[in-house]
């Protein structure tokens, strides 16, 4: 009975070799293939070893388990690598990172800070009207020469234009007449004074009647009045000549000759910012436009409009930082010098005026300006580093951690810059964990595949 399994095994192997021989596939060398009709050698049956088969089964099972574990690990690795892009592309605004990608990301919670509120506004540079002087002519005349051009710097009293003025000639004639009248009045006064003195002496000696003394004193009083009137007339004429730009020394020298030319001088030191006359032009005192416009440009005004809701937080004399496109890396300190008492009904804004020093002359009137007003109010707001904010078009984005390696893209509204940090107006709460570094990487992973390929 013990030999039957071996016999059966031998019969099966023999049949198998015969089948392979019939098909031409025996798996043996040609010289070992049995020829049909050739007697087969007898095969000794192998001794029966039960432990040998058990060992083969254990080895085969162990090998299968190892292969299965290796295959599972390879499948899990491929799934972990592909998962971020696949999940980010199917779930909006969600990014899942693997361990290698997480090494490029740093996460911190949003902090809190009490800040002084700043308010930004746009405006323009203007003249300081407290140091802006229009130059008019006090008399009519024709322009003989222009001594200063637009843009020139002038000092106080510097000649600007020379006129030929008929009014100056008339004033000089009046001066001569007033001097003559004063001289005549002086002679009449002296004569009346002499007569009155003689009448008093004679009256004391009772040589003349009282009525003669009274008549002499009345004549003296009239002579004194005439002399005072002549003095007033002469003073008025001299004042007219002062308006023509003549100084007292020049007026004293008038009379022997008639001066037809008059010089208009700068009333203040500054820069000629406008000129409205030309050579040969006839000008009059009642002209609507000034001859020149002179401004001291060492100080200027910044005119801006702020929202009416912000006016309560902006005190008078509040410090201001002024920026202009011409000098993007420079800030000009200023302060608020005036707040309008009225609101523009169309824009619901209030005009504010800032005074800024301009000793170098870098700022020019009508320049576009941006002002940052340091308001008096304070507020506690969420704050994150500026590096955490990703700008995409007009939107500001951050990536908020939702779990290990999982980040949700979120839109926020940023407030004022705080020197390396930024205050948040809306979109984030204190304590939420935000990607401070690596936002650009996650923003790229969050884009659809077709958009990324484009």
- CA-based max dimension of the chain: 209
Is a pLDDT exceeding 90 seen at residue 130?
A: yes
Distance of alpha carbon 65 from alpha carbon 57, whole angstroms: 12
Q: What is the pLDDT of residues 377-416, one digit of tens each?
A: 677 888 888 888 988 888 889 989 888 888 988 998 887 7
- CB atoms near residue 373 (< 10 Å): 25
Q: Residue 261, class by beta-carbon neighbours within 10 Å (0-12 exposed, 13-18 middle, 19+ buried)?
A: middle
Mean pLDDT of the chain, nearest integer: 81
Is a pLDDT exceeding 80 seen at residue 337?
A: yes
Q: What confidence score (pLDDT) does residue 73 get?
A: 63
Intervals of CATH 2.40.30.170 along the chain:
120-128+296-375
Split at pLDDT 50, 70, 90, the class of 349 is very high
Cα–Cα distances in Å, from 324 out to 187, 189, 329, 355, 363? Answer: 73, 73, 9, 15, 8
Q: Output DSSP code: residue 318.
A: -
Split at pLDDT 50, 70, 90, the class of 450 is very low
Spatial contact of 154 and 266, defined as CB atoms under 8 Å apart:
yes
**Angle between the 439-446 and 50-90 helix axes, to the nearest 10 degrees?**
100
- CB atoms near residue 409 (< 10 Å): 20
- CB atoms near residue 334 (< 10 Å): 25
What are the phi and psi torsion angles at 34 (to 5°)? Answer: -70, 135
CATH of domain 132-283: 1.10.287.470
Q: What confidence score (pLDDT) does residue 16 get?
A: 47
Intervals of CATH 2.40.420.20 along the chain:
94-118+379-453
- CA 453 to chain CA centroid, nearest Å: 37
Q: Output DSSP code: residue 165.
A: -
Q: Kindly state the tokens that stand for 146.
A: 């222009």
Give me Rg for the CA atoms of the chain: 55
Concatenating the DSSP letter of every residue in 118-132 gives EEEEEEEEEE-GGGE
Distance of alpha carbon 278 from alpha carbon 151, whole angstroms: 15
Q: What is the pLDDT of residues 54-80, one digit of tens each?
A: 666 676 777 777 667 676 666 554 444
Q: Output DSSP code: residue 405.
A: T
Distance of alpha carbon 250 from alpha carbon 243, whole angstroms: 13
Distance of alpha carbon 40 from alpha carbon 29, whole angstroms: 16
The answer for 49, left when phi > 0, alpha when psi is -120 to 50, beta otherwise, is: beta
Is a pLDDT exceeding 70 seen at residue 12?
A: no
Spatial contact of 200 and 215, defined as CB atoms under 8 Å apart:
no
Is a pLDDT exceeding 70 seen at residue 53?
A: no
Spatial contact of 272 and 292, defined as CB atoms under 8 Å apart:
yes
List of residues 6+ apart from 282 with CB closer than 8 A: 140, 141, 142, 143
Is a pLDDT exceeding 80 seen at residue 42?
A: no
For range 234-254, the mean pLDDT: 81
- CB atoms near residue 386 (< 10 Å): 13
CATH architecture of 94-118+379-453: Beta Barrel (2.40)
Cα–Cα distances in Å, from 181 out to 187, 218, 235? Answer: 10, 21, 12
Q: What is the pLDDT of residues 408-425, one digit of tens each?
A: 889 988 877 777 888 877
Q: What confidence score (pLDDT) does residue 59 get?
A: 67
List of residues 6+ apart from 348 with CB closer than 8 A: 307, 308
The top-level CATH class assigned to 120-128+296-375 is mainly beta
pTM: 0.54
What are the phi and psi torsion angles at 7 (to 5°)? Answer: -65, -45
Spatial contact of 322 and 371, defined as CB atoms under 8 Å apart:
yes
């Amino acid at each position: 009975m013990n030999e039957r399994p071996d016999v059966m095994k031998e019969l099966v192997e023999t049949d198998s070799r015969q089948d392979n021989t019939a098909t031409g596939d025996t798996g043996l060398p040609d010289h070992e293939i049995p020829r049909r009709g050739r007697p087969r050698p007898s095969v000794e049956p192998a001794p029966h070893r039960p432990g040998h088969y058990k060992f083969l089964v254990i080895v085969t099972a162990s090998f299968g388990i190892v292969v299965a574990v290796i295959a599972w690990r390879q499948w899990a690795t491929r799934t972990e690598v592909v998962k971020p892009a696949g999940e980010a592309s199917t779930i909006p605004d969600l990014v899942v990172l693997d361990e290698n990608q997480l090494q490029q990301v740093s996460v911190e919670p949003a902090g809190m800070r009490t800040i002084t509120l700043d308010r930004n506004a746009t405006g323009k540079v203007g003249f300081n009207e407290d140091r802006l002087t229009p130059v008019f002519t006090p008399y009519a005349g024709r322009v003989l020469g222009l001594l200063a051009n637009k843009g020139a710097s002038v000092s106080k009293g510097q000649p600007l234009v020379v006129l030929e003025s008929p009014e100056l000639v008339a004033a000089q004639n009046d001066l001569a007449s007033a001097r003559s009248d004063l001289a005549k009045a002086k002679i009449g006064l002296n004569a009346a004074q002499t007569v009155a003195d003689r009448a008093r002496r004679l009256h004391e000696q009772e040589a003349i009647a009282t009525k003669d003394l009274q008549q002499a004193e009345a004549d003296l009083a009239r002579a004194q009045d005439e002399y005072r009137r002549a003095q007033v007339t002469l003073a008025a004429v001299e004042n007219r000549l002062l308006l023509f730009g003549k100084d007292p020394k020049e007026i004293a020298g008038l009379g022997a000759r008639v001066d037809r030319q008059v010089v208009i001088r700068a009333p203040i030191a500054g820069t000629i910012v406008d000129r409205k006359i030309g050579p040969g032009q006839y000008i009059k005192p009642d002209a609507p436009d000034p001859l020149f416009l002179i401004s001291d440009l060492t100080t200027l005004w910044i005119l801006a409009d702020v929202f009416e809701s912000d006016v309560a937080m902006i005190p008078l004399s509040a410090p201001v930082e002024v920026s202009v496109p011409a000098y993007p890396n420079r800030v000009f300190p200023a302060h608020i010098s005036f707040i309008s008492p009225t609101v523009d009904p169309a824009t619901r804004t209030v005009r504010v005026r800032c005074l800024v020093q301009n000793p170098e002359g870098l700022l020019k009137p009508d320049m576009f300006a941006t002002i940052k007003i340091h308001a008096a109010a304070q507020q506690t707001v969420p704050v994150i580093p500026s590096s955490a904010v990703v700008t995409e078009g007009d939107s500001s984005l951050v990536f908020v951690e939702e779990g290990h390696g999982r980040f949700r893209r979120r839109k926020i509204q940023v407030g004022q810059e705080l020197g390396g940090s930024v205050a948040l107006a809306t979109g984030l709460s204190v304590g939420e964990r935000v990607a401070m570094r690596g936002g650009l990487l996650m923003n790229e992973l969050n884009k659809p595949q077709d958009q990324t390929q484009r």
